């Protein structure tokens, strides 16, 4: 898209960045509160560092306590910002997300939510709640955390929600009939791409429903992150010399989170390298009927409420 797949590698970032305005992200965000999921490595950690450098209060939401403690210490040490808080939450566990969100709402304010946590599990794995792991993390987890925190975001001026998706979603048309990948052969890469398509649809739907919050979804390009190394080892070996750095992958997330320019553009768009880009390839037939998109929202809401009642009860 843009001009093609090569744009997604480091060279693509380098040529796109020639047109960036550095002043866009030279902002002081002291007093503003940012929550980042999957913040102990990769793009999440790179984003957290950049926001911490600009004075923001950063809430790191991570699954692994030990790795998260190390990441937090690194962010504090490198940026000198002490307002870095840690929350241990498994985004594939809906009850845990509800419990966390309800507590967070009572104790903190929130200006910007960054849904970055994701997983690509290459075989069909079922969580303790009977959910397929990729769907539970990438789609349902993102849905529950966002909807549970909307009341907090609604209270703030210039509230934003940014979801880290992937260009992989361009090969997938929204499919609401088999959200848990129960039918046919399981292909982790395609399931992940489907989840990333679902995130684009969520963003577009939320943008319509919540006019005073700015929603966006983005593709970081192909970056050298622990997640890419572990879930796509063959791709990594072949491409490692041309991958983006974590900071380059995080650049558009930071721009969407802090710049005044980002919110001049309409809510609900898909971004790559600080530019809105199409969510469908020409002739790809990946457009879905509106009723499918509404159905996705309904099904996720049902799941969400099912797990909510058990968490607060």
- For 14-32, the pLDDT digits (tens) are 999 999 999 999 999 999 9
Of 90, 94, 93, 92, the C-alpha closest to 305 is 94
pLDDT at 261 over 60: yes
Note the pLDDT of residue 284: 86
Q: What percent of the chain clears pLDDT 90, i.e. is strictly above it?
A: 87
- For 298-308, the pLDDT digits (tens) are 999 999 999 99
| Cα–Cα–Cα angle for 135, 172, 243, rounded to 5 degrees | 85
Per the model's pLDDT, the better-predicted residue between 251 and 226 turns out to be 251
Q: Is 173 helix (H, G, I), strand (E, B) or coil?
A: coil
What is the rounded distance in angstroms from the CA atom of residue 225 to the CA atom of residue 44? Answer: 10
Note the pLDDT of residue 283: 86
Query: Where exactly are the structural domains of the chain?
Result: 5-306
- For 115-136, the pLDDT digits (tens) are 999 999 999 999 999 999 999 9
Helices 65-79/42-53 angle, 10° precision: 30
CATH topology of domain 5-306: Rossmann fold (3.40.50)
- For 190-244, the pLDDT digits (tens) are 999 999 999 999 999 999 999 999 999 999 998 988 888 887 888 889 988 999 9
pLDDT at 4 over 70: no
- Average pLDDT for 45-74: 98
8 and 219 Cβ atoms separated by less than 8 Å: yes
55 and 132 Cβ atoms separated by less than 8 Å: no
The upper half-sphere exposure of residue 146, i.e. CA atoms within 13 Å in the direction of its Cβ, equals 32
Mean pLDDT across the chain: 94
189 and 168 Cβ atoms separated by less than 8 Å: yes
- Catalytically active residues are 192
Q: What percent of the chain clears pLDDT 70, i.e. is strictly above it?
A: 97
Which tokens belong to 3?
A: 């001009």
What is the rounded distance in angstroms from the CA atom of residue 144 to the CA atom of residue 92? Answer: 10
Of 218, 207, 221, 222, the C-alpha closest to 257 is 218
Note the pLDDT of residue 31: 97
Task: Summarize the chain as % helix, strand, coil (round to 5).
Answer: 50, 15, 35
Per the model's pLDDT, the better-predicted residue between 81 and 236 turns out to be 81
- For 90-117, the pLDDT digits (tens) are 999 999 999 999 999 999 999 999 999 9
Note the pLDDT of residue 2: 42
Note the pLDDT of residue 65: 97
Per-residue pLDDT band for 312 (boundaries 50, 70, 90) equals: low
- Average pLDDT for 169-194: 95
Which tokens belong to 272?
A: 């790559």
Note the pLDDT of residue 73: 98
């Amino acid at each position: 898209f843009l001009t093609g797949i090569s744009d997604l590698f480091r060279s693509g970032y380098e040529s796109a960045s020639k047109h960036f305005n550095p002043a866009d992200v030279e902002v002081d965000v002291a007093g503003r509160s940012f929550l980042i999921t999957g913040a102990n490595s990769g793009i999440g950690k790179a984003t957290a560092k950049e926001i911490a450098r600009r004075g923001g209060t950063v809430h790191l939401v991570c699954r692994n306590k030990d790795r998260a403690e190390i990441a937090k210490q690194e962010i504090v040490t490198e940026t000198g910002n002490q307002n870095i808080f840690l929350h241990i939450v498994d985004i594939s566990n809906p009850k845990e997300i509800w419990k966390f969100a309800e507590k967070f709402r009572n104790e903190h304010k929130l200006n910007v939510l960054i849904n970055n946590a994701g997983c690509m599990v290459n075989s069909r794995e079922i969580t303790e709640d009977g959910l397929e792991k990729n769907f539970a993390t990438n789609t349902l987890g993102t849905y529950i955390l966002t909807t549970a925190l909307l009341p907090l975001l609604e209270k703030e001026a210039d509230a934003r929600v940014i979801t880290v998706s992937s260009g992989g979603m361009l090969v997938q048309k929204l499919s609401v009939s088999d959200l848990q990948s129960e039918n046919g052969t399981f292909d982790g890469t395609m399931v992940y791409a489907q989840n990333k398509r679902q995130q684009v649809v969520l963003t577009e739907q939320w943008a319509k429903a919540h006019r005073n919050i700015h929603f966006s979804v983005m593709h970081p390009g192909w970056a050298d992150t622990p997640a890419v190394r572990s879930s796509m080892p063959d791709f990594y070996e072949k491409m490692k010399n041309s991958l983006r750095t974590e900071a380059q992958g995080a650049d558009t997330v930071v721009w969407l989170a802090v710049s005044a320019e980002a919110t001049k553009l309409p809510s609900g768009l898909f971004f790559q390298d600080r530019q809105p880009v199409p969510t469908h390839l020409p002739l790809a037939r990946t457009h879905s009927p509106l009723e499918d998109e509404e159905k996705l929202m309904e099904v996720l809401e049902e799941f969400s409420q099912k797990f909510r009642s058990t968490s607060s009860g």
